[in-house]
Amino acid sequence: MSRSVMMSDLSWPEYKRRLEEEDAIILLPVGAVEQHGYHLPLGTDWIMATEMSRRAAERVGGIVAPPVMYAYKSQIRSGGGNHYCGTTSLDGASLIEMVRDVLKEFARHGARKIAVIDGHYENEFFLTEACDLAVRDLRYDGVTDVRILKMRYCEEISDEVLEIAYPAGYPGLALEHGAVLETSMMLHLFPHLVDVSKISDDPPADFPPYDLYPGNPDWVPPSGCLAPAHGSSAEIGKMLVDEFTDLVSGALEAQFRTAQTAAERKVS
Ligand SMILES: [Zn+2]
């Protein structure tokens, strides 16, 4: 019998049982609704954050909460900017409050091990603030044993994988938008959502070392991709997915499933 790790698939008693009897880790994927060039879907970031969370949850005894699909505003120099049709964003305060509320709800129902898995570059410090405020609120309420791990699913890439995926050199995570990393992962996981015939020939973005407000859309290649997606493949995607699954599940194991944390559990 298949055993779903998706919270939305579970009845409330089963969710409760897994929290109480299996000490389940709750994973909250956070993505974006954001343009990803001509060839990738608007949901790329939340789809990927959710899938990487699902894979990690299966390894570590986790439950994947419904994702936060909306994100902090796309920035010109990292996501192409908020001016593209379909890029549908939240103000920073809205994202902070939404994630803060949801984290506290998990804790209210008994979760003590929580992970926020981020798939959108611009979310970073808004999620930091949400985690910080949630833990502070809980502490004021007398709940002192909640721990939240926050990471990007693609926080680290090994040199070995980088060499194969980026023979011409890695552009860096900020420019990896609609480019080889995301395109390859999508080709491996959800090929029906990728239209490789629409991969653009735009040159890589060449930004000045500062931001402007309002932003200047002329800085961004017309497609919205900040680095070329040519050279993407399902094979590279599999390598990246495997590596990131190891990365996320390894982090969760290290923080939440070591012998030491098991011993702490027994004592408490
Ligand atoms: Zn993305």
Task: Say what the pLDDT of residue 258 is.
Answer: 83
Res 263: pLDDT: 58
Using the mean position of ligand 1's atoms as its centre, give its distance from the Cα of residue 134 in Å. 26
The DSSP string of 157-208 is --HHHHHHH-TT----GGG-SSSHHHHHHHHHH-GGG--GGG---PPPP---
Q: Is the dihedral of CA 200, 202, 208, 213 positive or negative?
A: negative
How far does the centroid of ligand 1 lie from the alpha carbon of residue 120, in Å?
Answer: 6
Q: Cα(58)–Cα(63) distance, rounded to whole angstroms?
A: 8
Q: How far apart are CA 88 and CA 165, in angstroms?
A: 30
At residue 1, the pLDDT reads 44
Question: What whole-number distance in Å separates Cα of residue 242 and Cα of residue 39?
Answer: 23
Q: What is the dihedral of CA 189, 191, 195, 199, to 10 degrees?
A: 40
CB 178, CB 40: distance < 8 Å:
yes
Intervals of the chain under pLDDT 70: 1-2, 259-268
Q: Which residues of 228-266 are buried (b: 16+ CB within 10 A; e: fewer)?
A: bbeebbbebbebbbebbbebbbebbbebbbeeeeeeeee
Ordered by where they begin, the domains of the chain are 7-267 (3.40.50.10310)
**pLDDT tens, 169-180?**
888 888 889 999
Compute the distance from residue 165 Cα to the ligand 1 centre, in Å.
Answer: 17
Q: Which of 42, 29, 127, 116 is nearest to 79 (CA)?
A: 42
Q: How far is the CA of 267 from the centre of ligand 1 (A)?
A: 42
Check the CA dihedral 59-64-70-71 and report its sign: negative
- Separation of 243 CA from ligand 1 center, angstroms? 17
Cα–ligand 1 centroid distance for 178 (angstroms): 6
Please check whether residue 227 is in contact with residue 205, taking contact to mean a CB–CB distance below 8 angstroms: yes
Q: Say which DSSP state 210 is in.
A: S
At 191 the pLDDT is 98
Distance 202 CA to ligand 1 centre (A): 17
pLDDT computed for residue 146 by the predictor: 98
Residues assigned a catalytic role = 34, 36, 45, 120, 122, 177, 182
